[in-house]
Copies of this chain bind each other. A is one copy, B any other.
Amino acid sequence: MSAAVQADAAAESLPLAGLTVVDLTRVLAGPVCTQMLADLGARVIKVEQPGRGDDARAVGPFIDGVSAYFLSVNRNKESIALDLKDEGDRAIFERLLERADVLIENYRPGTMEKLGYGWDLLHARFPQLVFTSVSGFGQTGPYSGFPAYDMVVQAMSGMMSVTGPEGGGPCRVGVSIGDLGAGLYAVIGTQSALMQRARTGRGSRVDVSMLDCQVALLENAVARYGAEGRVPGALGSRHPAMAPFDVFRAQDGWFVIAVGSDAAFGTLCTLLDIRALASDERFATGRARVTHHAPLKALLEERLASHPRAHWLQLLGDHGIPCGEYQTVAEVVQHPQVAARGMLTQVRTPAGTSLQVAGNPLRTGATHLVRRDPPALDADRESILRDIAAP
């Protein structure tokens, strides 16, 4: 058995086995969505521009000349290069759609229509096809046609306004949450459309807007603003409604203490041997502690400076107070819990060099996560063409 045949056999036991996705997406939001579907067992056929392929292939850093950015979000996919303005390639694309369950794209709204693949035409010709689009602002509304990147929707949505130090300027979330959030919602929308199709026999349109998804993730800030009329701002590392619920400095580094109740605060004061704080009026209730969070933090850090964080983590953890070490990416990839969960995996470049990447948080024990390494551009042309030639 070849490696590819073995991989396909393993895919049979995965949740989305048997589904075929035609994937026109590029860069991040779309590829995150289709990688999740691929990890879960769908066959994902990545259709790329001849010559250059997915724009992400050009984003550094590179390993063996291959983009690490690309390698991180394109495992378990096949690749074929097609020019959707060429007649022969359009015929191939349409044969793929005939056999597909889902088409996903993240062009700017209007592009698919210009290519002659708008929803109305596609739905008439392939009534079972689910058609998912991810765009900056969605397929409707006055901003629909505008281009957007992650940075733009992080700024417009208010996400930057609630992130960063108190009183500081705009601050980006350190991951591309504008893209990643939209990618995850697009998976949910696509799966639910497939479940609906199982009942109705008909595909439907999933229209995901990156800006909408950021507003959805800001749910608590929106609700607080609605209830109080005060504009939510950035608070550094502390929690808006609980204290002490923040990052604190111990003798040798930062760690988190997350106290969610008066009882837990009492326990904390006892454990730190600063019982006087528990009866201090400024810290008597959750609301009072939030108001006086700054002096409380100073008093706690004065005490915490006496021991390394491992000491405090052990002591607090043993007494059920949620806490945890602040870690860099270099530390988290070596953390025993991350290792025990198998949350990291290896993908290989076409030249065979391995790169450690984040795995999928949804796993079944019996299956291999990486059935296929991220493809070189057009790597699967031959087998894909053979498939669609079959009756």
Contacts and interface: CB of A to CB of B under 8 A. Distances in A.
A21 interface: no
A212 interface: yes
The prevalent SS among residues of A at the interface is mixed
Interface in A132-155: 136-138, 140-144, 146-149, 151-155
B175 A325 contact: no
A36 B216 CA distance: 11
Given A16-B192, A198-B198, A362-B206, A255 B155 contact: yes
A143 B241 CA distance: 27
A330 B231 CA distance: 6
A176 interface: yes
A328 interface: yes
A198 B332 CA distance: 37
Given A165-B164, A195-B191, A332-B215, A323 B152 contact: yes
Interface string A219-240: 1111111111001111111110
A204 interface: yes
Given A239-B151, A336-B142, A219 B357 contact: yes
Contacts of A260: 149
Interface string A191-227: 1111110110000101011011101111111111111
A359 interface: yes
A84 interface: no
Given A163-B174, A171-B165, A175-B221, A68 B361 contact: no
A383 interface: no
B162 A175 contact: yes
Number of identical monomers bound together in the oligomeric complex: 2
Interface string A1-32: 00000000000001111100000000000001
Contacts of A184: 181, 184-185, 188
A277 interface: no
A170 B247 contact: yes
A44 interface: no
Contacts of A332: 156-158, 215, 218
A138 B341 contact: yes
A151 B247 CA distance: 8
A78 interface: no
Interface string A247-268: 1000000111010100000000
Contacts of A320: 147
Nearest to A325: B156
Contact of A256 (B155, B180, B192, B215): B155
A238 B362 contact: no
Nearest to A66: B227
A343 interface: yes
A71 B151 contact: no
A72 B317 CA distance: 31
A246 interface: yes
Contacts of A170: 237, 247, 254, 326
Contacts of A255: 155
A161 B69 contact: no
A298 interface: no
Interface in A366-384: none
Given A149-B258, A222-B344, 11 more contacts: A63-B226, A69-B224, A146-B322, A155-B247, A161-B326, A163-B163, A164-B174, A169-B237, A170-B254, A170-B326, A216-B343
